[in-house]
């Protein structure tokens, strides 16, 4: 199974809501990533988890809270978001963090709209 799955595919939320994005992989990868992509812009790295520990936080606002409960699952908890946070959120995984340059395997993304 070389698939990274993300749920939900689409999410509409108000600024006072709390929601979560979910990402799952069963390839035995030990590094997982969250990216954010605004329209016509490159995907931008938000967080990196390695062996279930947060390794990189690219100065992301605290209204985004990542969680890696186990090696297969990655969550992104959302609270008090702003309309400018509307974007496509991509999850990815790779065999490991660091070392040889491995390709990253991406999910299809969650399209988030904040009203």
Partner 1 sequence: ILNVEQSPQSLHVQEGDSTNFTCSFPSSNFYALHWYRWETAKSPEALFVMTLNGDEKKKGRISATLNTKEGYSYLYIKGSQPEDSATYLCALHMEYGNKLVFGAGTILRVKS
- Output the smallest distance, CB 43 to partner 1, in A: 5
Q: State how far the alpha carbon of 72 is from the alpha carbons of 20, 38, 85, 88, in Å.
A: 16, 26, 26, 21
Q: State how far the alpha carbon of 92 is from the alpha carbons of 41, 78, 102, 104, in Å.
A: 18, 18, 12, 6
Q: CA-to-CA distance for 39 and 50, rounded, in angstroms?
A: 28
Q: Which is nearer to partner 1, 64 or 105 (CB)?
A: 105
Q: CA-to-CA distance for 16 and 115, rounded, in angstroms?
A: 10
Residue 5: other Cβ atoms inside 10 A = 13
- Output the smallest distance, CB 28 to partner 1, in A: 16
Q: Which is nearer to partner 1, 80 or 106 (CB)?
A: 106
Q: Which is nearer to partner 1, 4 or 81 (CB)?
A: 4
Q: Where along the sequence are the contacts to partner 1 (CB under 8 A)? A: 4, 31, 40-45, 48, 55-56, 90, 94, 96-98, 101-109
- In the numeric block, which tokens belong to residue 39? 């329209």
- Output the smallest distance, CB 17 to partner 1, in A: 25
- Output the smallest distance, CB 112 to partner 1, in A: 16
Q: Which is nearer to partner 1, 4 or 114 (CB)?
A: 4
């Amino acid at each position: 199974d070389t698939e990274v799955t993300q749920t939900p595919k689409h999410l509409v939320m108000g600024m006072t809501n709390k929601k979560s994005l979910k990402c799952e992989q069963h390839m035995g990868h030990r590094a997982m990533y969250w990216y954010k992509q605004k329209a016509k812009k490159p995907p931008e790295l938000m967080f990196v988890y390695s062996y279930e520990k947060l390794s990189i936080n690219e100065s992301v606002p605290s209204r985004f809270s990542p969680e890696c409960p186990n090696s297969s699952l990655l969550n992104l908890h959302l609270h008090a978001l702003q309309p400018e946070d509307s974007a496509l959120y991509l999850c990815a995984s790779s065999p490991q963090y660091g070392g040889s340059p491995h390709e990253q395997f991406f999910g299809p993304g969650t399209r988030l709209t904040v009203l």
